[in-house]
Amino acid sequence: MRSGRTAVLGGSGFIGRYVVKRLAARGDVIAVGCRNAEQAKFLKPLGDVGQIVPLNIAIGNEELLPAFLAGNDTLVNCAGILQEKGSQTFDLVHHSGPARLARFAREAGIERFVHFSAIGADSRSSSAYARTKAAGEQAVRDAFPTVTILRPSVVFGSEDQFFNRFAAIAVMKCLEDSASAGRLYELGGPKIYTFRELLDLLLSEIRRKRRFLDVPFGLAAAQARLMSILPNPPLTPDQVELLKRDNVVSSGAMTLASLGIAPTVAEVILPAYLDRFRRGGWYER
């Protein structure tokens, strides 16, 4: 695999930072675009001096995007949002922004483009997140037919270096393998959990007991509407819509296995990273 010049939009995020780390390890010079380059400076020690350059590039900035892409041969778009806030709309970040990015990428002579969408992307979904992800997929394909689209399932954990690492490994495999051009992959683990099973797993790992109360979707939507007055609501009405559909790899989809990646079950990893919350655990004191 040859090293080159890569632009990573959203390279400071939960997944993007591991993409940047891997690209740096293969020797690429990386331009990292995000809205707050100052906060992305933590990426610099992942490479040699000058190898990783964080830049203030918003996906909506028509003037700066061409300059951001110029001279690069590869583009990875990891920009995404879970909630809308001010000018950060789903349509901008997931659809019209990526559409423009893909067009500029083509004009800049970018050879390989990997774009992050999400499992559940669907033009008929009741969730705006899912609808705009689907519209974004179509738009980037129209402008850049050889784009590789990755749809992760929920990638959870606080900076766990594990679940997000799989997404980064998938990006690198796609860049290595030209057969992935023009394809879409759904990235999920080897085991499907219900939401309750995940919570049970969490509680058993941290050795705590809690009772669960089932909340019907109508009530959850009402709660989410109330919470939307908070600056960072823990649940939004759109997320309630998203939860109505299972977040699992569809049958017949190309997967991590198609890329030669064998994911590990959550149970193997959770004990290590939940240790800090465990009753009687190493960090309890």
Ligand X SMILES: NC(=O)c1ccc[n+]([C@@H]2O[C@H](COP(=O)([O-])OP(=O)(O)OC[C@H]3O[C@@H](n4cnc5c(N)ncnc54)[C@H](OP(=O)(O)O)[C@@H]3O)[C@@H](O)[C@H]2O)c1
Is residue 9 near ligand X by the rule CB under 6 A?
yes
Q: Which of 5, 22, 26, 35 binds ligand X (CB under 6 A)?
A: 35
> Shortest gap between Cβ of 88 and ligand X (angstroms)?
6
Amino acid at 53: V
Q: By C-beta, is 51 or 88 nearer to ligand X?
A: 88
* Options 6-14, 195-203, 225-233, 259-267: segment touching ligand X (CB under 6 A): 6-14
Q: Which of 7, 15, 101, 270 binds ligand X (CB under 6 A)?
A: 15
Q: Which of 16, 47, 189, 237 binds ligand X (CB under 6 A)?
A: 16
Q: By C-beta, is 96 or 258 nearer to ligand X?
A: 96
Q: By C-beta, is 85 or 207 nearer to ligand X?
A: 85
Contact 23, 114 (CB under 8 A): no
**3-class secondary-structure state, position 271:** helix
> Shortest gap between Cβ of 222 and ligand X (angstroms)?
25
Q: By C-beta, is 9 or 249 nearer to ligand X?
A: 9
- Nearest alpha carbon to residue 50 among 31, 36, 23: 31
User: What span, in angstroms and rounded, lies between the C-alpha atoms of 133 and 99?
Assistant: 11
Q: Which of 6, 7, 14, 130 binds ligand X (CB under 6 A)?
A: 14
> Shortest gap between Cβ of 115 and ligand X (angstroms)?
8
Contacting ligand X within 162-191 (CB under 6 A): none
Q: Which of 20, 43, 58, 249 binds ligand X (CB under 6 A)?
A: 58
Q: Which of 43, 78, 140, 174 binds ligand X (CB under 6 A)?
A: 78
User: What span, in angstroms and rounded, lies between the C-alpha atoms of 67 and 284?
Assistant: 49
Is residue 7 near ligand X by the rule CB under 6 A?
no
Annotate 87-149 with DSSP letters as a single string.
TB-HIIIIIIHHHHHHHHHHHTT--EEEEE--TT--TT-S-HHHHHHHHHHHHHHHH-TT-EE
> Shortest gap between Cβ of 94 and ligand X (angstroms)?
7
As a whole number of angstroms, the longest Cα–Cα distance in the chain is 58
Is residue 198 near ligand X by the rule CB under 6 A?
no
Helix axes 163-176, 16-25, angle to 10 degrees: 50
Amino acid at 129: Y
Q: How many chain residues are in contact with ligand X, going by CB under 6 A?
A: 25
Contacting ligand X within 87-116 (CB under 6 A): 88, 93, 116
Is residue 79 near ligand X by the rule CB under 6 A?
yes
Adjacency order of strands within the sheet including 74-77: 52-56, 29-34, 5-9, 74-77, 112-116, 148-152, 184-187
DSSP E strand boundaries for the chain: 5-9, 29-34, 52-56, 74-77, 112-116, 148-152, 184-187
> Shortest gap between Cβ of 144 and ligand X (angstroms)?
16
Angstrom CA distances, 174 to 13, 30, 147, stand at: 19, 17, 10
> Shortest gap between Cβ of 39 and ligand X (angstroms)?
6
Is residue 18 near ligand X by the rule CB under 6 A?
no
- Nearest alpha carbon to residue 249 among 177, 151, 106: 151
Contact residues toward ligand X (CB under 6 A) are 9-10, 12-16, 33-36, 58-60, 78-81, 88, 93, 116, 118, 152, 154-155
